[in-house]
Chains A and B, each alone.
Chain A
Amino acid sequence: MKRRTLVGIAACAVMAMTAPLMAADWKPDGSLTMQIGFGAGGSTDTMGRVLAKVMEDQTGWNVIAENKTGGGGVAMFTGIAKMPPRGTVIGLGVNMPILVNLVRRGDELPFDLESFDYLGTISKAELALVAAADAPFDDLPGMIAHAKENANMPVAFGAPPQKLLMDVAARTTGAEFNMVTTEGGAESMKLVLGGQVLAAFSSGEHFPHAEAGTMKVIAAGNAQRLSYAPDAGTFVEAGVNAYVDPYFYLATTKGTDAEALAAISGAIENALASPEVIEIVNNAIKNDPLNLGPDGTKAMMVDGLANVGVLFAK
């Protein structure tokens, strides 16, 4: 409880300091819609809905959260890219699906990175490769060795970047994996617990099982080691030159009025500093909020596109 109070005080202090920076006169014409690129009930949806509610409470604007699914945000950002820039609709998505599709079929997409004005990020997601506690390996080199010795090495994945990481691992090391597709982290965890797969990717779904001692972290899929499991090495450390850094980010249509951009990104910044949002981000992805700001978000997307290009290079 003490920590929460401290965070609260810190948040209030940050808010007090940043408040004057906000363009106080601008407000959306009607309501501000936050389109969430994922379905109801996931971690993006939960964080987005709470963020929208806190923004509404803090600014007095009418902020509506709605889900717009399709291609992990591609459909939602397609809509936003085509809209007139009125400053009334913003999108919340994850960078990876957008970047992967831009690399793989950029010519088919009606937008590129320049089609948006970026508003900020909520946080970075951490991607772990996990296994059952009694799995016959403890780290990625061990798992690769196990795959080479055994005919079957089933690994569950629930999104394209996860499969890419294992594809690069297979290419680099010559090990073969039985890649088992799932609908997402929760189903992947079920397969690990049921013993049908030996390893699986998790963006937080394994926490209760790690706590119960039934699962362990094998490797970190990000560029850096995981904040909650600093002992597990990354793919890069194991000699597999690949990583993914998924960010939850917000953007709107290119050409939106500068005053509106400043007001909205300021509102996001303030809301991210609120104890409610800090708490929900902690709860949803076991990480603190991390706002790269408008410029930092754009830089993250541009660098990310180059990195994803490397993942696909054969």
Chain B
Amino acid sequence: MVELSTILAGFGDAFSLINLAYVLLGVVIGQFVGAVPGIGPVMAMAIAVPFTFALDPLPAIAFLIGVNKGGLVGGAVPAVLMNTPGTPDAAATALDGYPLAKSGKPLKATKMALFSSVTGDTFSDIVLITVSAPMAILALKMGPVEILALMIFAFSVLAGLVGNSLVKGIIAAALGLLFATIGSDPENYTPRLIFGMWDLYDGLPLASVAIGMLAISEILRRLSETGGKVEAAIDLIDTGNPDDRRVTWDEYWSCRYVMLRGAVTGTILGALPGIGSTAAAFMSYAFTKAASDDPQSFGKGNIKGIAAAESANSAVVGANLIPLLTLGIPGSVGAALIISAFMIHGLQPGPLLFENQGRLVYGLFGAMIMANFINLWVGQLGLRFWVKVVTAPISVIFSSAILMCIVGVSMATSGLFGVAVMLVFAGLGYLMASFGYSLVIFIIAFFLGPRLEISVAQSLALTNGDLSQILRYPVAVALLVMSVVAVAYLLWRNQAIQRLEQKDDANV
């Protein structure tokens, strides 16, 4: 157990002017690169890591944490304002964020994203600071078989997002899984479907697929709709009602259960390395939609949809530090970069970190709390700026967005190959969206695919390929039963909603 004096000394270290300055700098950079489509906080962190060598460990890591957290808030901005999420975890935010912004309430939408992001983040930070040790033990007990069952459960919950056509949903998911198999197989490292292009050996570059599918294809669609007219990317309608420009306390409070559910989902998935924030955001969104009295309002600008997605994907980032600090296991690329910053300073996160470096760890916690407040404050200022930016003519906004996407992807993938992949997927995304196939389902399947395959391989190796051995894993069995129930319930509900919608149409 860490002594109270160490904890206090750690917090004391954190709350110094120099750390405050570094956290502030990190948050500002993070929010900026998060909000500009294409670059993203991970790349900013990768570039910054070697420069932190010259700093003391605490400001160095605090700075990186600031970038990471700032990026979360920034990432929601293009998703909400332009429907062009730069990262797939913000795609869930766009589902309701963009319709709300389009209806003339961009400030309300982005502010709700900011508030729920900081709320989810703070929740997972509190879990990290108070009960990271037991959470880590829980994560260790979730072996490959349990993780496989959990992923099947995740897929079944996502059935709630399939939309009108079950067949089209299944096709989109299958296509996503198919593209996820490109690259080496996880057991014998044989290249699959790479056609001599060794750049594909590790799989399709994630940034290219995500940005091509989600951002560029949406820009293409919008450009095709403008027909050369000069108009603003988004209309700021001044209704004279100040409540349209802010989130009222009542609105925030009405989302308390939504945000709590999102934060818990995000924290659990974040503590388990490998599943990631995209799944967390969509699962939370699907849970919220399934639990709602008015599921039809989702996708049309329901503020709860924003709260569900943002609270969950932000909670993942704090929770990623649970396995990182207690076991030295990074749950994401961002977390791996924080490990490399630790490594540069001669510290290796692991079971003894709290004992040997307790003061630094609590200093880090102090910095995280600081970063959350600064995120809120910088976000409040930054959002006004971004909302102003998107009132510029659509031709300016979209052409610069395309440019940023190309620059960002070529930086992230070190070359034009990634840009070519991005353009291919932009075309595919445009076609799929035009014919009513869900891009969201495709992206989730694509992102979860590799992990799903590894989990299947691991489970088969552990059980000697004998399916009946699954009975030895009660948690997995419970999750599988829940999956079946979830699929049955969600499909039934989906049909009920469709019948309702048809009735509405008939009445009109």
Contacts and interface: CB of A to CB of B under 8 A. Distances in A.
A22 interface: no
Interface of A: 35, 39-43, 45-46, 49-50, 52-53, 65-71, 74-75, 78-79, 105, 108-109, 151-152, 154, 160, 163, 178-183, 186-187, 189-191, 193-197, 205, 207-209, 211-212, 214, 276, 279-280, 282-284
B492 interface: no
Given A75-B198, A180-B461, A279 B346 contact: yes
Contact of B461 (A154, A186, A276): A154
B412 to A, nearest CB: 9
Given A41-B337, A71-B184, A196-B144, A189 B343 contact: no
B475 interface: no
B352 A41 contact: no
Interface stretch (B6-14, B46-54, B361-369, B440-448): B46-54
Nearest to A74: B198
Contacts of A45: 46, 340
Contact of A186 (B143, B329, B414): B329
Contact of B49 (A49, A109, A197): A49
B201 A74 contact: yes
B201 A208 contact: no
Nearest to A208: B350
Given A190-B140, A280-B343, 5 more contacts: A66-B414, A67-B414, A68-B414, A179-B461, A194-B140
> Which 9 A-B pairs give the minimum distances between C-beta atoms?
A208-B350, A41-B336, A71-B201, A196-B143, A194-B140, A40-B46, A212-B351, A49-B50, A75-B198
B380 interface: no
B348 to A, nearest CB: 5
A181 B351 contact: no
A63 B50 CA distance: 13
B138 to A, nearest CB: 10
A180 B350 contact: no
B97 to A, nearest CB: 29
A207 B350 contact: yes
Given A53-B50, A283-B346, A70 B202 contact: yes
B140 A160 contact: no
A201 to B, nearest CB: 14
Contact of A108 (B196, B329, B340, B464): B196
A159 B103 CA distance: 51
Contact of A193 (B196, B327, B337): B327
Contact of A182 (B350, B352, B454): B454
Residue of A163, A190, A194, A197 with most chain B CB atoms under a 10 A cut-off: A190
A191 B333 CA distance: 20
A75 B203 CA distance: 12
A50 B53 contact: yes
A52 B191 CA distance: 31
B39 interface: no
B350 A78 contact: no
B344 A46 contact: yes
A287 B337 CA distance: 21
Contacts of B346: 279, 282-283
A181 B352 contact: no
21 contacts: A39-B333, A41-B46, A45-B340, A46-B343, A52-B50, A65-B50, A67-B46, A78-B198, A79-B415, A178-B461, A179-B187, A180-B144, A181-B187, A181-B457, A182-B458, A187-B329, A190-B139, A193-B140, A194-B140, A205-B328, A212-B350
Contacts of A78: 198
A276 B462 contact: no
Nearest to B353: A208
B198 A53 contact: no
A191 B201 contact: no
Interface string B241-275: 00000000000000000000000000000000110
B231 interface: no
A313 B42 CA distance: 42
A186 B330 contact: yes
A191 to B, nearest CB: 7
Nearest to B344: A280
Interface string B459-473: 001101000000000
A202 to B, nearest CB: 11
A52 B53 CA distance: 13
Contacts of B333: 39-41
A73 to B, nearest CB: 10
Nearest to A214: B351
Contacts of B458: 180-182
B202 A71 contact: yes
B328 A208 contact: yes
B141 A194 contact: yes
A229 B334 CA distance: 31
A75 B140 contact: no
B454 A53 contact: no
Most chain A CB within a 10 A radius of its CB, from B43, B143, B200, B273: B143
B49 A46 contact: yes
Contacts of A186: 273, 328-330
A71 B191 CA distance: 9
A189 B50 contact: no
Contacts of A69: 202
Interface in B322-336: 323, 327-330, 333, 336
B90 interface: no
B199 interface: yes
Interface string B296-319: 000000000000000000000000
A40 B42 contact: yes
B339 interface: yes
A205 B144 CA distance: 19
A64 B290 CA distance: 49
B186 interface: yes
Nearest to A109: B198
A207 B347 CA distance: 11
Given A69-B202, A182-B458, A191-B144, A209 B50 contact: no
B350 A190 contact: no
Contacts of B176: none
A195 B145 CA distance: 13
B462 A180 contact: yes
Contact of A70 (B45, B198, B454): B198
Contacts of B106: none
Contacts of A191: 143-144
B414 A190 contact: no
A183 B274 contact: yes
B349 interface: yes
B205 to A, nearest CB: 8
Nearest to A204: B348
A286 B267 CA distance: 33
A154 B144 CA distance: 12
Contacts of B328: 186, 189, 205, 208-209
B435 interface: no
Nearest to A41: B336
B189 interface: yes
Nearest to A159: B189
B343 A283 contact: yes
A187 to B, nearest CB: 7
Contacts of A70: 198-202
Given A53-B50, A208-B328, A212-B352, A196 B343 contact: no
A283 B273 CA distance: 23
